[in-house]
Structure 1
């Protein structure tokens, strides 16, 4: 199974750096065949090229929700961030990922299974260096969660391949 870990963020915006920092830590932990690591400063339609051709993608980003507290973190599928008509929706970097994957498939691209991991931030647009305390404190748990999940998937895939070779 080919997995891409994709961090989205901006290194000059305090808490928006989360995706970049988490991917850097995961790359050090999971540097092995079958796992690729990328970072982007923006999402939008550029994501189609990044996502296409992988079996699984883990996207790491910051998020602002209505009821969340800075430092809360979430794992969800793309449909959870698809904009709806009534609320204006919640979309990472202005494009709903559900729409993005549908568009990619319509263009003939092979779209992966996607899980989005996000840490709640108070202000993703604040310029400055260093994450705020609640966000910085949440990062290690998110790194562990994503790393453990990918390691489980790799082990299961290796087990299936070993059975297939017997």
Structure 2
């Protein structure tokens, strides 16, 4: 995990987060769980704080990127998982501008698009957060979403393997 982000990767799985802001750490927890498992050949797992240039560097050269991040929504349903294909499904409803970070993920996607640095396919799993205040533990609802999301990503990776990814 956390290899040099500029290295070419067929599939990049990227956990965005901050493990000192409770549910904002969900992306890092999912990335750590995946890094400890046997993943298909060509999959590299990264963690980032979500700063746009670091995020773009992590998926640069990837045919596919899967991003996991915490999100706020209104009304909230903590632990609920949303799957979006970007840039086709850029949030404009309850998630628009509601990242748990100081920027919105869609801004990094827009910047990467302008720079010609989007991966071939970009999937985002957004987990609705309950608490992004100071602390290190995930809220119970978000913690309960981790293992189902890890399993979902593993199924997604297995279903997408092709001849060029070692299947």
TM-score range, shorter chain: 0.7 to 0.9
Q: What's the CA shift for 1:151?
A: 1.2
Q: What's the CA shift for 1:89?
A: 3.1
Give the ranges of 4+ consecutive aligned residues of structure 1 lying more than 3 Å apart after TM superposition. Answer: 79-84, 158-162
Equivalent pairs counted in the alignment come to 154
Out of 138, 141, 149, the position equivalent to 2:156 is: 149
Residue by residue, what CA displacement relative to the aligned partner does 1:54-74 show, whole Å, maximum 9, x if unpaired?
Answer: 000000010111233001011
- Residue aligning to 1:114: 122
Rg larger in structure: 1
- Residue aligning to 1:17: 25
Q: Is the 8 A contact 1:48 1:104 kept in 2?
A: no
- Residue aligning to 2:141: 134
- Root-mean-square deviation (CA), in Å? 2.7
Where do 5+ consecutive residues of structure 1 fail to align?
none
More helix by share: 1
Q: Is the 8 A contact 1:23 1:39 kept in 2?
A: yes
- Residue aligning to 1:101: 112
| Structure 2 residue matching 1:29: 3-state secondary structure | coil
Instruction: State the TM-score, normalizing by the size of structure 2.
Output: 0.79
Where do 5+ consecutive residues of structure 2 fail to align?
1-8
Residue by residue, what CA displacement relative to the aligned partner does 1:91-139 show, whole Å, maximum 9, x if unpaired?
Answer: 644242441331231xxx4633100011101232x11121111111111
| Structure 2 residue matching 1:30: 3-state secondary structure | coil
- Residue aligning to 2:78: 70
Are residues 152 and 88 of structure 1, via their aligned partners in 2, closer, same or farther at CA, if it must alter by over 3 Å?
Answer: closer
